[in-house]
Amino acid sequence: MLADSEIIGHRFPGGRYTIAHWENFLLTDCTTADQLPDGLVHPVAMFHVPILGCGVSIAELFDICGAEGPGSVGLDGYDWEYFFPLTIDTEYSASGSIVHWEHCVDDRGRPFDSMRFAIELRNSTNYLVARATNTWRFRRAPSTAAFREHAKHEVADATPIPAFVVDSVDPQRMKTMAAILRDPYRVHWDREATTAMGLGGRVINQGPLNVSYIVNALHAFAGVGCIRRLTVNFHRPVFDGDRVIAGGRVLEERTGDGSRRVHVWLERHEPEPNEVLVSGEALIDGDRPSRT
């Protein structure tokens, strides 16, 4: 683990990344969505492509921030901006750094460190294609989770988008996703790790997959390539076998640029009704360039 003064502002080596057809095929399959047309990459690639493109790995980020084993790392939120849709077989350059590091205490009085990193992707003509800003927490005391409660926005007369339902979250897709992400975090594929955490051996779905269900709902509503920005917070883990429902409501239709602001969420209804697992906001439209 680096010293505090070395973590904040720590720059990643930088580099280039090309998303291959096979990688996008497997990634999209993990999200339970149909393959996207015209060589478009599933937007959830914004989790791993910036990291790997920057010449770093999830395991190295764990080392930099001093992860203390299974259950010690959690996701607080993603803020993903899409200026152009990503496409397969296109080389992107990636650069970024750790932009925030703070010692915190959660709502139960348990200490954790909050880390945020930001990475930009650019194409061969140096146009900014996308920007990922992710916030992780590194727990410094034994615990299973420190997720915060966030109520859904209830907006009168807001237009609902069609729900995207996953009847049973598949642990085999988690294993494939772990391989694509180069993710060493055992809670996604090792039942012994989650048994030791008191979770009954059920493995935990990756955050990007939880977000992908929201992406799939937005695509079904407004078309592939509609997402300009997606900002989410994580509140509860999703386990294998869970039935989850992604949905949303249009909060605002902007006349200036034709975009729509949508409150989005992922819910589980058992054992508790209307349990919010992920919530956030998307900026979408249906009239965007499809190629970089």
Which pLDDT value is given to residue 287?
53
Q: Are 261 and 250 in contact (CB under 8 A)?
A: yes
Q: Any idea how long the chain is? A: 292
CA distance 224 to 220: 8
Which pLDDT value is given to residue 157?
57
Summarize pLDDT for 37-65 with one digit per residue, the tens.
Answer: 999 999 999 999 999 999 999 999 999 99
Summarize pLDDT for 94-145 with one digit per residue, the tens.
Answer: 999 999 999 998 888 889 999 999 999 999 999 999 999 999 999 886 443 3
Residues with pLDDT less than 70, the chain: 70, 141-157, 255, 286-292
Q: Which residues lie below 8 Å from residue 179, measured CB to CB, with a gap of 6+?
A: none
Question: Residue ranges of the domains in the chain?
Answer: 4-284
Q: Are 28 and 36 in contact (CB under 8 A)?
A: yes
Query: Superfamily assignment of 4-284 in CATH?
Result: Hotdog Thioesterase (3.10.129.10)
